[in-house]
Amino acid sequence: MRLLWSQGAEASFRPGEFFGREEELRSLLRVCLEGKSGIGASVLIYGPPNVGKSSLLLKLKSELKSLPQSTAPPCPFPFYYSFSNILSHPLALSQHFLQEYLWQLLVFLGESPPAAFDLDALCDALAARGHVECRDYLSAHLRYSEKGDGLSALANAFSFPFATGGELLYPVFLFDDFQYTIKLQNIPEGAIFSILRPYIKSGHFPMIVSGSSPGHVTSSLKREGLYGSFQLLEVGGLSPDASVAAWGPLFERRKIRIPEHLAVRAAVRLGHIPVYQRMLAEEISFRNVQIEDEVGLENLFALSVTEGKLNRYWREFFENAIPDRVARARAVKFLKRVICDRFPIDTFEGAFSLMGTSPEEGSEILSALEFKGLLKSDFEHIEFVRDPVLADFLFWAFERGVLGKNTSQVAASIVQAKISHDLQEGSGGEQDASAEIAKEMMRRWDCRDVPALLFDFGKFHDKYGDKGLLEVVIGLEGDPRKVRLPKISSVSKGHRTIRGGSRFDFDLVAYGFHDGDFSEENLVIWAVDVNTEKKLVQVAVEHFENRCRLLSLDKGLKPGQLRKWILFDGAADAAVVGLADRYGIHLTHRTQMRLFLNLFGMQELEKGAEERRPPEARAGEQPLEFELVLPMKADTEVVAARVAEEVAAYASLDKDTVDRIKMAIIEACINAFEHSGAETGKVRLRYVLSPERIELFVQDEGKGFRTSAKGDESKQNRGWGLKLISELVDEVHIETGERGTTVRMVKYLRPASDEGSPTTNGEG
Amino acid sequence: MRDLKVKTREAGEGTSVVYVNGYLNSLLGEELEQVVHDALEVGRSNVVLNFEGTRLINSIGISFIIGIVERMAERNGTLAFCSLNRINQDLLRMTGVSRYVRAFDSEEEAIAFFAQTV
């Protein structure tokens, strides 16, 4: 097998064009030199893709090579090796590794670079210089290759460098693109580290590992117990001075002249990242433009990021990183929200939710992004790179792909945003004040002494009655916050994940219109979440905020058009309250949900299922079944209630339970009478009594069940029926079919002692 | 339960006690609404609804009660409930009505409350 010499980063690296990072270089150099005395550590360099990690390694290599020869041997032999993505087969990798090592060693020893990559020839040349041990390694390599034993071949090849050198030199490993070692065929992740482990531990062989996937690499390190032996070095953009200095040779070579203040601005604009600087310089030269002012610079940048070099660069990057088109689109959309719109995401769960995927699909996308260095993750948190150029690229991809805008429109908006961006700065004082109010409000709600504030009955009818609008006060007595509720046109609740469709996952979403005017401008959307945990935590607030942003992006809402509301029962820390306030989320006690739903003619949400466990069934008893057919006439529901009472008598139920069952069946009958629109005028009831529960079936033969109040019915019962039923019994199931609607209600029968003592009362 | 009568008694300055007897559905609800309306018209701003004779209230009945709550609030009147049985208390709680209206165990307590506030 012959492998071609891959001309990688090493060939294009120009030491003279390397600027900045003096401090990093100094400490890396120290680490490398300490290998001589056996106290060398190893370093893991990580950072976003193309930020300059490889350049740093190559610069280090050239520094090591140019060390003064006066020091006593052994001297460091810098061996740069990039685990490129071409070599995913362990046999190919081990062979390439051996070739590279021998070649670089020969060059280091002063031999003129051999013309061909012939392992035998390289080995002979090295043996001629006294390094005979390489023959053993080579024959072992051939043996393993014949057997197809990739892992042994790798172990053999990677051990080889440690056997060479002796007293004269010691190898310093500069391993680049290390993340690819986890993608070797049939080789477990971290195998390379376990081969290298004893050498790393020895302290004699400094190892500088660089990669854009710190999550994977560090977890391999942890697994091998090597985490403590490595120092971590994060590489970001250059220092401002260094990046401005970096323009020098770039402009000079291309004979570009731009005013100095624009060079500074351009460096900032590019996040001080050298690779972008090179691309922008190429773009200027390619388009042969004169940059004279800020607008000119921003225009050129926008052009580059929407259709020029910067755009191509990132487009190809994403095409390589995530080959599947759908997943790629999803990843771009997701990153756009995180990096451009700054959605607060730091958990995997939040990321999946934002992507709208299942955890499996989401994990795949996240791990591809992690692998390519666009995010950092540990077991709990994830952190995304903040790269201004990437952000603009994502903006373009989103606007073009999702919203269908053309490139020049997007470029124009990028320019506009950047030109006006410099002015923005936020203020903080008001937030503190309103956070205080929110806290006080919650305290009051816990005491339940603000009912009078909830409704401004006297006024709303006069003011909004005919328009269906009203104001609710959710503030404090001293400082009430009025919230104007719009005329609600539709309400949906209990939204849960719908695959493929838009998905916002709120407990309740209400669409309404201000001033009774059903036009786009007057659209208002209420997004409501009911928090069922004991304590409202930060993650829940962030999660909610993310979904709200998603909703408002999706619907193209202006800031005031989305109202956010979290209702919760328990407590919340001041920090959480502050956070919610910052996002403009109303926090209120859960009882407010009732008010809200009542106003919208809705039923309250189901409670958590865990509260409602049926007691142990007493086996061996057959259920008793009773049936009743009611004419659809006013007050005949009382008959149904009476039968329920009699049925319950069989089970010796306590009065409270009996009353609840009666009320539930009354409400179900009323609903059947009012909403079914049945022509037969009959409602069938079935009562099924078993030891553990009583089941009630109310079946009409109508056209369907309407769950919310509409039109003239609203005056009559405002959609209370189902809401009450769900409060009164443990389970409600509604089935609508061709033959009508059946409401099935289940009440689990607990031992009488579990209930509070029933109140005796005069009979009506 | 067929006795659809709503009776009223005057209990001191501006206070009326309204006795609701029977199954509180739409028929009784309408009657009740009218009675309270009449009491307000003659200047009685405090109204106690006595539910001692009411065994069941259905959702339509609840909506009439809400209408009364609203009407009272419009007129700056004060409403109180008394002698509610447990299931009716629960219903008023479930629908949120009990958060706007004070409920007393007995008529005497309700009247005493109004006497204090006057």
Q: What is the predicted pLDDT for the residue at A516?
A: 52
Separation in Å, CA of B99 to nearest CA in chain A: 6
| Contact state of B63 with A715 under an 8 Å Cβ cutoff | yes
**pLDDT single digits (tens) B64-84:** 998 898 888 888 888 999 999
Instruction: For residue B60, give the nearest of A451, A663, A717 by CB distance.
Output: A717
Q: A8 Cβ partners below 8 Å, 6+ apart?
A: A82, A84
Instruction: Residue B69: count other Cβ atoms within 10 Å of its Cβ.
Output: 18
**CB A519 within 8 Å of CB A549:** no
Give the burial string for A638-651 (b: 16+ CB within 10 Å, else e). bebbebbbebbeeb
Which residues in chain A have Cβ-Cβ distances shorter than 8 Å to B1?
A: 638, 764
- Helix, strand, or coil here: A563? strand
Q: Which of B84, B65, B101, B72 is nearest to A720 (CA)?
A: B65
Which residues in chain B have Cβ-Cβ distances shorter than 8 Å to A720?
A: 59, 62-63, 95
Residue of chain A minimizing CA distance to B96: A594
Hey, is the C-beta of A758 within 8 angstroms of any chain B C-beta?
A: yes
Residue of chain A minimizing CA distance to B54: A764
**CB A569 within 8 Å of CB A589:** yes
Task: Give the separation between CA A235 and CA A589, rounded to whole angstroms.
Answer: 46
Hey, is the C-beta of B13 within 8 angstroms of any chain A C-beta?
A: no
Separation in Å, CA of A633 to nearest CA in chain B: 13
Angle at alpha carbon of residue A285, lines to A280 and A288, rounded to 5°? 120
**CB A45 within 8 Å of CB A57:** yes
Hey, is the C-beta of A666 within 8 angstroms of any chain B C-beta?
A: yes
Hey, is the C-beta of B98 within 8 angstroms of any chain A C-beta?
A: no
**pLDDT single digits (tens) A626-670:** 888 888 887 788 888 888 887 877 677 788 888 889 999 999 988
User: Packing angle between helix A150-163 and helix A191-202, nearest 10 degrees?
Assistant: 20
Q: Which of B58, B89, B98 should be substituted to probe chain A, the one whose Cβ sees the most A Cβ atoms within 10 Å?
A: B58
The partner residues of A472 in beta bridges, in order of sequence, read A455, A483
The mean pLDDT value of chain B amounts to: 86
The contacts found for A645-652 with CB under 8 angstroms, 24 or more apart, are A647/A687, A647/A689, A647/A694, A648/A689, A648/A694, A650/A624, A650/A689, A651/A689, A651/A694, A651/A749, A652/A752
Hey, is the C-beta of B105 within 8 angstroms of any chain A C-beta?
A: no
Cis omega before residue A90 (within 30°)? Answer: no
**CB A162 within 8 Å of CB A79:** no
**pLDDT single digits (tens) B83-115:** 999 889 988 888 888 888 889 988 988 888 888
H helices of B16-105, where? 26-41, 59-74, 86-94
Which residues in chain B have Cβ-Cβ distances shorter than 8 Å to A660?
A: 87, 90
| Contact state of B54 with A763 under an 8 Å Cβ cutoff | no
pTM of this structure: 0.49
Q: Given pLDDT bands bounded at 50, 70 and 90, which one contains residue B32?
A: very high
| Contact state of B59 with A667 under an 8 Å Cβ cutoff | yes
Instruction: For residue A717, give the nearest of B55, B63, B96 by CB distance.
Output: B63
Q: What is the predicted pLDDT for the residue at A346?
A: 66
Hey, is the C-beta of B21 within 8 angstroms of any chain A C-beta?
A: yes
Instruction: Count Cβ–Cβ pairs < 8 Å, chain A vs chain B.
Output: 99
Task: Give the separation between CA A495 and CA B15, rounded to whole angstroms.
Answer: 48
Hey, is the C-beta of A707 within 8 angstroms of any chain B C-beta?
A: no
- The upper half-sphere exposure of residue A257, i.e. CA atoms within 13 Å in the direction of its Cβ, equals 0
User: What residue type is assigned to position B100 of the chain?
Assistant: Y
| Contact state of A727 with B59 under an 8 Å Cβ cutoff | no
**CB A344 within 8 Å of CB A546:** yes
Separation in Å, CA of A629 to nearest CA in chain B: 20
> How does DSSP classify residue A603?
P
Q: What is the predicted pLDDT for the residue at A515?
A: 58
| Contact state of B63 with A721 under an 8 Å Cβ cutoff | no
Hey, is the C-beta of B91 within 8 angstroms of any chain A C-beta?
A: yes
Tokens (6 digits) for A96: 């390439």
Task: Give the separation between CA A524 and CA A526, rounded to whole angstroms.
Answer: 7
Hey, is the C-beta of B4 within 8 angstroms of any chain A C-beta?
A: no
Q: What is the predicted pLDDT for the residue at B84?
A: 92
**CB A28 within 8 Å of CB A42:** no
Q: What is the predicted pLDDT for the residue at A6?
A: 44
- Taking 70 as the pLDDT cut, the residues of chain A under it are 1-12, 38, 40, 69-73, 85-87, 113-117, 165-167, 342-346, 378-380, 402-405, 409, 412-413, 415-505, 507-522, 532, 569-570, 589-621, 650, 676-680, 702-719, 750-764
